[in-house]
Each structure stands twice: as structure tokens, then as C-alpha cells.
Structure 1
Amino acid sequence: MRPYILLSMLILPLAVFSQSLQHRFDSVLQGYHQQGQLEGTVLVARQGKIVYTGQFGYANRQFKVPVTADTRFPIASISKMYTAIMVLQLQEEKKLDIDQPVSAYVPELLPSINARISLRQLLVHSSGLPSDKVPDYTTQSIKQPGAFIRNNVKDTLLFTPGSRFHYNNVDYILLGAVIEQVTGKKWGQVLQEKILTPLKLTSTGIVTQQDIIPKLAYGYHNYTYGPGTAMDTLHNDEARYLENYATAGGLYTTAAELFRVDQALYDGLLLQPASLTEMYTPVKELGFLKYARGFTALGSYVNRLSSIKPGGDLTVIERRGNILGFNSCLLRCVEDRNTVIVLCNTYTGNMEKIGDDILRILYNPPTHAHIKK
């Protein structure tokens, strides 16, 4: 048999499989879009290679500006992953130790009762600090994390630090103050130097209320979380100083640039192997978190999902983000180097369900009979 004939016989099934995979993604995701439950952008990668991208709906509904591949979305708490990366980078540089108390770096910032909280407890939301409140983001712009903490954190604890899990944006805003203290730079500059510039991310930055950010999606909401319909009324997001979320939720990006961060973690461009192991290790002593479907870790959650992968459970590093109409998820199957990114600007879809449906397609390839059809 001639070599080029043999090569074509090998390539053709792969091409047909790829087309079938794209068709299956399109069919499911268009279904969600037509039901009014998906507006935004989706990126799926298999073994580090992008196998699907899709855009749905409008970045601006008033002027009917469609979502495109380079539309930028506020990613809310997915920002916490970037903060965890920066903190671990600074630990690698011996500028901090995550097992040291916060008071070792910002001794006068927290009230005295909170002095024993460690950086690790902030990273896994076991600090015991009280939660932030909506007025903290609607009254004025507070661009410095330290100023936010001084204005909004009181001399109180909800529980003994390290004893249980309590999700809290304040934990990660405080980490931003530590980053600024140990580097002598604004956290945005540290982000630029350690992540954005090395990875050449030009469509990632900090959302600020007063700035005009090119290609930034508008937010819309009705908080149906999945069971709504395309006929439901959407409302404009109210003005909010997203920059106050800072290192807890102040970033915007595109699907492609979030994917570049995902790949950089695999390729050792951001963190050393020991730091990656530390970031991915679930903190089981804080208990299983039903809403997160797994255990807390540094900047993300470690889940084991059933009914997704044939022959066993699937380990997923999961990070979601939501604020107002912006609703996003990042699913990282590190054992297989598979990635799912969904960035939305309407709070109408169930990210957990959409993400799981994408993973089922990825892990359950069509049969030969299906491919032939």
C-alpha cells in the first residue's frame, strides 16, 4: 500500500470525528441558546488543542452588537485563580509564606482579633472574616485593597480561623493588600508583570466603572439560573464598582486568553510543579461543599464528577464566577488536559448543567455508526 494512501486512511476518520464533535457541541449549545439560557462564548479543548469555539447572542442588546471571539467578559470570582497564582509565585520568590499570619505582612491593617489568620486560610476561605456587603460596591470606587479592608472589615470573627469553610470575597481582597505590601506595587501592576505580559494577554485587565473598555460585554440578568425561557424579560445590570472586588473578582478577559492561562499552568510558564501540586490539593478537612460539588483548594475547587466519563469518576478543577448578569465557568480536567470555558453576560443559564453536558460530549465520542451517518 502506498504511504500517502495509508496516511489518508488515518487522517480521514480523525477529520470526520472532529466534524462530528463540533456538530454535537453546536446542537446542544444552540439548544441552550434558543431556550434563552446561553448568551456568550464557549471554548472547548481536548488534550490541549481547541476542538470547539462558539459565540451566542449579543454583547450589547440595545444596539444588537453580537458576541464575537474577542468579546471581553467580566469573570468575577474566576479572578481568584489569578490571585492564587500570584500569591504562589511570590512564595516561590521567598517574598511570603502562605502559612504565615496576615499580620506578618500587613500588621496594622486587620483588627487585633484577626491577627492569627494565615494566608493559606484566606486562600481556602477558612479565615472566619465577615462577608462583604452589596453597599461596599455601590457607594464609591475603592481601588486599593488595603483601603477596602480598612473601610469594611470590623473587629470581629465568625468562627475560629481554620475551623470551617465560609466563602468570602474579603479573603481575596485582603490577599491583594498583602501582594501590594510585599511587592511595593499596585496589584494590577503585579498582575501585568507576572501573568499578562509573560503570556502576551492584551485583552485581559481590571474592570473599572469610569473607564471605557473596548469590546467589553454589557451585563443583563433575570436570575432564572436555567429554568427560564427565551421569552423572559432581561434587565440591565445596575452600575457597580467592580474594581472594588479587586483580587477577588475585578478582572475581565476573553475565552481565548483564559485558555492561554490554563495552558500556561500545564506548561510550567506560571508556577513550578510543587506550587501546582499545592494549588490542586483539596482541603478535605474543611468538608465536602455541596454547592461547589467538591472540596476547596487554593483558588479553585477539586471535584470528582460521576456519570460523565465512561468507566469511572472524572476529577475536575472547577472555578466559577458570577456577578450581576455575568456568569462564567472554567473546568480543567488536568489528568487529560481537557478544558471547558463558558463566559456569559446573562444570568439565565445553569453553568453547572451546561458545563457537564459539554464534558459528556467530550468524554463520550460517537460510535463508528454515528460517524458514518
Structure 2
Amino acid sequence: MKLSLKLVLLIFAFLSLIFIGIEWWQSHPKVNLPVPLGTFGFDDRMDSILITTLNQNQLAGLSVGLIIDSEIVYTGAAGFSNLETKDSLTSVTQIPTASVSKLFTALLVSSYFLENDIQPEDNISSHFPSIVKEFPQLEDITIASLLTHQSGLSDKGYLGSWLGIKKPLRLENHIKNILSKRVNQETDSIASYSDLNFELLAFLLEQNSQSSFEKLMNPFLQVELGMTQTYFKTPDQSDSLTTQGYQKTFLWKRLKNNPFVYEVLPDPASGMISSTHDLLKALIQLSRGDLGYLQPHLEWLEQENSGLAGFQQVKLGNQTYWGHFGGQDGFSSLLLFDLELGNGLVILSNTADKTDFRKQLAEKLEPFLYQKP
């Protein structure tokens, strides 16, 4: 018995050593950059906060942008987009934005439905009878309930991409595959966050327009909003993104690869690739109020009791902002803006956020939104 226990302990110790060795071998040293001295000017202080955040939270790369009164007052970046090649991460580096994508899917939905006289409070059955006939559980779900995650739909049960055993499905196939397994669905007035809500919205767009989501979305981003570096990856598109995602290792103070994994392509809920430079362009339009190109879209999204449908409310200090957090695999993002004052910020990183660094960084940056240089 004692011999068996010793053998088990020896095997466990041996396997642990192998795990520790592999984790070290397959990881990279943490990034530690010198904090600039003489932090007296606005940009100097921003640079100092940026680099200190990167060092303290063991990030591979970090990019930040600020607008005040709908004008860009700061863009900065530090670290690397790829630790293997040592390519620098900059404000124009393309990074998966994860759930920040939902903001732009909501804006596209508002743009298209506004043109086609479809209102947020309309039931799916009012405009998409053939879809409801195929999936009766959608009959009483409204467009607004999808945007506000109150449809009763959930992401429960999707383990394919998490386990890495599925190739991403085309959006239409993905939706039909899920809905065919969900016979009973009750609308829930309590919000339950689910990517499926936005995937279904994009599917409805495709069905109504007889066009693919990416053919609607990418021109909206690149032409109408001027976000020329921004796109939603498609099934037919080769993976040309050189930015690598990372996460902290289990034991060592090192970073290991954590690439972005798609379950569906295009992915309306999480699949937008953008840069700080491009997101600031959108932020300017979002924050300009009546003067902004996106004002009609925001008015369509405005809900009496819940504010902007599709947007999250984030409180920093005494101020409440609209925007969205994004975090998936080895990437983290945050976009926030103040509709009344025209202030806002963008945070992008190619490292998983396990320490809530985005919120902490936003809280440090927020006072500077009221100190125009």
C-alpha cells in the first residue's frame, strides 16, 4: 500500500515537472518597459499611466485613445503585438475587439431597420414570418429584447469552440443548428447576457436583405464610418492577422499564446477586428450628439427604460458612460463615451484581462477626460 502511494506521488511529481517545463518552454518572458521620466505634460502623464499599467498587469501590449469634446487628444501604445517577432503594438495595430463588436452590430441593425421601417418594439413574427414558422419559439421575441439580452435565449451548451473540436460554422448554419435544438423558449424580462442574441440579429439582417452579414457590415464600417482598418472576418478569408493574443502562465511570470477562436463566421457578437485609431473615428461620431453621423442610429436604439439598446452602462467615478467591454481568449477591449460632454476612451490589449485592468485603467484615465490639454 505504501509502495503504491509512493508510486502515485512519484508519477504525479514527474507529470508536474513535465507540465512546468512545457509551460516554461512554450511561453515568453513578461514585458517590462521603462516608465518615462519627467511626466509633467498631458501626453507624458498618459504615457506613464499606459506603461505602468502594462508592467503591473503583465501585458504583452496595450493601446489607449482619448477624446475630449469629440476631438482626439491622445493616442498611445506600448509593448508588442507579437512576442515571437517582437513587432511593436501601435495605435494602428489590428486587434480582435471581442464583444465591443456588439456595438457595431447594433448600429448596423439600427441603420438597416430604420431604412426598412422596422422598429425595436416589433416582434420578429411581424417581419420574418417564414423564420418564425420554422422556429416558433421566436414568435414573441422583439428586436429590442435581442439588443438588450432579454429574449430568454442563452449560450448554454456551446462547448465546441471552447474544446477546440469544431470548425467555425457559417452564420446561417450556426443559427439554424442552435434553434433547431431549442424548442421551448420564454422571453425573460431580466437581462441574461448571450452572444446568441446578436448572432440572431445578424441572421435576421441576412434574411431580410438577401445579402451576407459581412457584405452589409464591412462597407458600413469602412465607407460610412471611415474605419478602413476594421472588418469582420469571413469563412472565405485567410487569416492574415499577425497580432497574437496572450495570457499569463499558471506558475511563471511569463506569457503564453492564447489565439482568438471563432465558433461562427462572420461572428456578429465578437468577431470585429479593429485598431485604436479606427475606434476613435467611431467614438467621435458616437459622441457628437445631434452633429454626429450616428445620431439617427442612436435615436432608434434609445429605449425608454434601458437607455441605448446594445450598449452597456459603465460607471466611472460619479459619471456614467455608454459603451462596451470586450474580452475573449487572449484579447481585451473597452470603448466608452459620454453623450452629453463628447468625451470618451478606447482601450485595446492583446492579453487576457484576469485582473480587471481595463476598469482600473479607465478609472485612472477618466479624470483626464475633463482636462483638455
> What are the superposed Cα offsets for residues 139-165 of structure 1, whole Å, 9 maximum, x if unpaired?
022122x2111112322456x414211
| Counterpart for residue 293 of structure 1 | none
CA distance in 1, matches of 2:178, 2:254: 35
Moved more, 188-197 or 82-91: 188-197
**CA shift for structure 1 position 167:** 0.1
Aligned positions of 1:243-254 closer than 5 A: 243-244=264-265, 246-254=267-275
Aligned positions of 1:1-373 closer than 5 A: 20-38=41-59, 39-103=61-125, 104-105=127-128, 107-108=130-131, 111-132=135-156, 133-136=158-161, 138=164, 139-144=166-171, 146-153=172-179, 154-157=181-184, 160-208=186-234, 211-214=237-240, 216-222=242-248, 232-238=253-259, 240-241=261-262, 243-244=264-265, 246-265=267-286, 266=288, 267-272=291-296, 275-281=297-303, 283-284=305-306, 297-306=308-317, 313-348=318-353, 350-363=357-370
**SS at 1:172's partner residue?**
helix
| Counterpart for residue 370 of structure 1 | none
- 1:176 to 1:43, Cα distance in 2 relative to 1, 3 A: same
> What are the superposed Cα offsets for residues 277-333 of structure 1, whole Å, 9 maximum, x if unpaired?
34354744xxxxxxxxxxx74121134443xxxxxx313112111110110000102
Moved more, 101-110 or 354-363: 101-110
Is contact 2:249–2:256 with CA below 8 Å preserved after alignment? Answer: no
**SS at 1:53's partner residue?**
strand
> What are the superposed Cα offsets for residues 340-373 of structure 1, whole Å, 9 maximum, x if unpaired?
100110014521111111112333689xxxxxxx
TM-score normalised by length of structure 1: 0.78
Moved more, 178-187 or 25-34: 25-34
**CA shift for structure 1 position 107:** 3.2
**SS at 1:249's partner residue?**
coil
**CA shift for structure 1 position 198:** 2.0
**CA shift for structure 1 position 126:** 0.4
CA distance in 2, matches of 1:269, 1:221: 37
- 1:112 to 1:260, Cα distance in 2 relative to 1, 3 A: same
**CA shift for structure 1 position 106:** 6.0
Q: Which amino acid letter does the alignment assign opposite residue 354 of structure 1? A: L
Q: Which amino acid letter does the alignment assign opposite residue 358 of structure 1? A: L
Is contact 1:113–1:156 with CA below 8 Å preserved after alignment? Answer: yes
**SS at 2:341's partner residue?**
coil
**CA shift for structure 1 position 95:** 4.7
CA distance in 1, matches of 2:102, 2:231: 14
CA distance in 2, matches of 1:301, 1:250: 18
Moved more, 243-252 or 21-30: 243-252
CA distance in 2, matches of 1:199, 1:239: 25
CA distance in 1, matches of 2:168, 2:42: 45
TM-score normalised by length of structure 2: 0.78
Q: Which amino acid letter does the alignment assign opposite residue 82 of structure 2? A: N
**CA shift for structure 1 position 69:** 2.3
Is contact 1:327–1:347 with CA below 8 Å preserved after alignment? Answer: yes
Q: Which amino acid letter does the alignment assign opposite residue 134 of structure 1? A: L
Is contact 1:302–1:317 with CA below 8 Å preserved after alignment? Answer: yes
> What are the superposed Cα offsets for residues 41-91 of structure 1, whole Å, 9 maximum, x if unpaired?
111111122221111111111111110222101001111111111111122
Is contact 2:94–2:275 with CA below 8 Å preserved after alignment? Answer: yes
**SS at 2:269's partner residue?**
helix
CA distance in 2, matches of 1:197, 1:161: 36
**SS at 2:319's partner residue?**
strand
**CA shift for structure 1 position 181:** 1.1
Q: Which runs of 5 or more structure 2 residues have no equivalent in the other structure?
A: 1-38
- 1:356 to 1:234, Cα distance in 2 relative to 1, 3 A: same
- 1:262 to 1:365, Cα distance in 2 relative to 1, 3 A: closer
**SS at 1:356's partner residue?**
helix
